[in-house]
Structure 1
């Protein structure tokens, strides 16, 4: 995505921003009533009883502060719970949920509106006509608080649950698979464009985002072909090339800097353009569930089915996803890498569980039946490795026989 949009999305996930904006809106709304007061007929202001406004604002001020404090405590508790039950990477994704941010921001915004409104009423800032405006605005604020409370109650019923974490990670990974950089189309080899020269990262960290639209535009402007060496999620160091270019003998330092500026490098991976990170986190959730301290194979089975669904979607992604980027070349995602990201932890920690081992073989068989050569080969290799692990860990011969039967029911798998 564009670099500015990526930066804006990262800032937008911060809780403080929405709370600050809602608070500012509450203050401005409270003060704006005096500006709109001249539009209210004086007779209407006298006939409409607005004496209850003071009491309603007082109730809002006292209750919203309590509700906001409670909501923030729930956020902290949910973050800790999901970090312990699943993985801190999934917890960060849940806590950045906009629905929870919106509820908390509404409560704080209503509190700020009520406080400013009480001060303005006590100082005579509004007048009788202004009090009418405050009356109707307060009714609107109460309605907004009611809606936020109902949504917050619905959110509380799911916040901190492992299945909610799986669904959120899967949804984010599915969105990341829509990136052109996650497409399955094969790019022409470097040799087709002639010798290439590197542009090094200059930083240490993970590739978070690549502005491929700007990169395509710059490559066309400079009349070069750019080979993307570091995709989102890749760990790079200062001397490692993030790109290579061909078509011109050499580019100036300024041009290379403009190309390199299309990369955003940070300390920790993000989900936005990195579908492999989503698969890694799903694998972490399953591995944590299979640990002796938790012993929840059902969660691992849920992750397996979710992963099959995501990988099936990826296989069906059109092969010409990168067709609009004629000046760019990049390696397609590897099916084997994706399978190892999510299934290797499950195969390793669930090898001693017959049900998990058998379900893994069923999942690999389902992926083989997608009739995609690359996915079939990757699924066969991972299925054989998972079978070896299970045969080494299962103690009952009956359990080993059952896993062998499941594995042997799919073509290309050995029964031993």
Structure 2
């Protein structure tokens, strides 16, 4: 249930209707309260300040009608600008970041403010009566309507500024990187101890091959957005079974294909199949909140679009590498949760999740493959590895960085033929070799045309 509620809340945050609907509801309540105050309380201040509060029924109707028509028109303009920004972002960068725009609270609030002011004016308008009908003009409510009109103007000016800033590459990358870093802090809160090697725990699961596994099929096709791991552990404890995830968060699963396997349960009934499927949230898209790899994928896709022949924007690709570096630096010092879940020392769940190596490959492999002969990007990739290597002493992670550096150096040697263009890359390789050491030094020696003295 907790997983479902979290999924529902994320869907609400990413919608263009939830926040505006709440603002419209608040505006209607505000109008009703102010009308009630005008109807029940004798406000002498209205008589003392006629220039501010004084207005006949016709004048009040005219004012609120003008405000209402203006606000609904501006709401249409705001919606149109937002759609244009979404289309531009999708074509210029990647469609993967559209959800970030839709989740932007400023875009949602601005749209809600204009629609809310429109709804407020409608509610107040219907209560205004002329002399023949028994005169009633809610002066306080009309004044607040005028104030809300000026508030709407301020929101319109700010929205134009905000949307012009938010479609810039730097803003898009910064927002995607910050969301990913927040996910890292949430999913991997524990710091990596100096001599820890959390991935090694996974090798202890080899002995489980002797078990007889029964696959539980997925009941839905889509991407796995979330999994209730605590609920999986509780179910495994209750049934006395071992569960092995066949698909992890962010992976695509097809209906009637294995989703999770069970050992030690004997006969599996339909109830268990339903219970296990209920612990998974499967949808049409991935969410960065539970899927760090998807946050990295968003930035990588922008880099690939920038490196494409049709755009050829090296500067944006370099910026992508910079923000990926910030994410990987944060990951390099965090303990990525082991795949094994124990209950009082007894194995219950074999989870499926990311490792530092897989996230490093996700970040750099495709950029390296598409940046061949691009000196600026290859150099920045090596500089990124240098920054990351300086933050971790973990042997396994430093080995992964060394392998990535070898691949980048090989791509540079294969595609860059001018010695002058290789200068910066050679310098970066030399600096990196001093940090990583080991077998990478031999590769640097070959790149420089000398033999290793080790």
Asked if 1 retains the 8 angstrom alpha-carbon contact of 2:78 and 2:111, the reply is: yes
Partner of 1:357: 378
Number of residue-to-residue matches in the alignment: 416
Once the 2 structures are TM-superposed, how far is the Cα of residue 261 of structure 1 from its aligned partner?
0.8
What is the CA–CA distance in structure 1 between the aligned matches of 2:244 and 2:187, rounded to whole Å? 14
Answer whether contact 1:227 1:243 (CA < 8 A) is retained. Answer: yes
Taking the aligned partners of 1:102 and 1:12, their CA distance within structure 2 comes to: 12
Whether the 8 Å CA contact 2:218–2:256 is kept in 1: the answer is yes
Structure 1 residue 276 displacement after superposition: 0.7
Residues 127-171 of structure 1 deviation map (CA, whole Å, 9 limit, x = unaligned): 877614414543663465355345424412312111111112112
Structure 2 partner of 1:342 = 363
Query: Could you tell me which residue of structure 1 aligns to residue 404 of structure 2?
Result: 382
Q: Mark the CA change 1:325 to 1:152 in structure 2 (over 3 Å): closer, same or farther.
A: farther
One of 147, 163, 171 as aligned partner of 2:170: 163
Q: Structure 1, unaligned stretches of length 5 or more?
A: none
In 2, distance between residues paired with 1:93 and 1:210?
Answer: 22
**1:47-81: per-residue Cα shift (whole Å, max 9, x none)?**
45331644542342132123212211211121122
| Structure of higher CA gyration radius | 2
Q: Are residues 1:373 and 2:395 paired?
A: yes
Cross-structure match for 1:254: 271
Instruction: Report the counterpart of residue 404 of structure 1 in structure 2.
Output: 426
Deviations 1:150-195 (A, max 9, x none): 5424412312111111112112222332454898845564456772
C-alpha contact 1:181 1:322 (8 A) present in aligned 2 = no
Structure 2 counterpart of 1:108: 115
Tell me if the contact between 1:23 and 1:112 (Cα under 8 Å) persists in the aligned partners: yes
Corresponding residue to 1:275 among 292, 304, 321: 292
SS at match of 2:17: helix
Deviation at 1:283, TM superposition (A): 0.9
Conserved in 2, the CA contact under 8 Å of 1:30 and 1:113?
yes
Q: CA RMSD in A?
A: 3.1
Partner of 1:62: 69
Q: Which moved more, 1:218-227 or 1:178-187?
A: 178-187
Structure 1: distance between partners of 2:336 and 2:90: 37
Residues 32-181 of structure 1 correspond to what in structure 2 (within 5 A)?
32-41=33-42, 43-49=44-50, 50=53, 51=55, 53-122=60-129, 131-135=138-142, 137-138=144-145, 141-142=148-149, 144-145=151-152, 148-149=155-156, 151-180=158-187
Query: Against the structure 1 CA distance between its residues 233 and 61, is the aligned structure 2 distance closer, same or farther, given a 3 Å change threshold?
Result: same
**How far apart in 2 are the matches of 1:97 and 1:325?**
39
Change (3 A) 1:39 1:323: farther
Q: Shift in Å at residue 304 of structure 1?
A: 1.1
Shift in CA distance, 41/259, structure 1 to aligned 2, threshold 3 Å = same
Distance in 1 between residues matched to 2:404 and 2:130, nearest whole Å? 74
8 Å CA contact 1:48, 1:132 repeated in 2? no
Do the aligned partners of 2:322 and 2:384 also contact (CA within 8 Å) in 1? yes
Is 2:309 the counterpart of 1:288?
A: no
Aligned to 1:16: 17
Q: Contact (CA 8 Å) 2:128, 2:137: kept in 1 or not?
A: no
2:417 matched residue in structure 1: 395
Residues 183-234 of structure 1, C-alpha deviation per residue, up to 9 Å, x if partnerless?
Answer: 8845564456772433222332211111233333333333434333321111
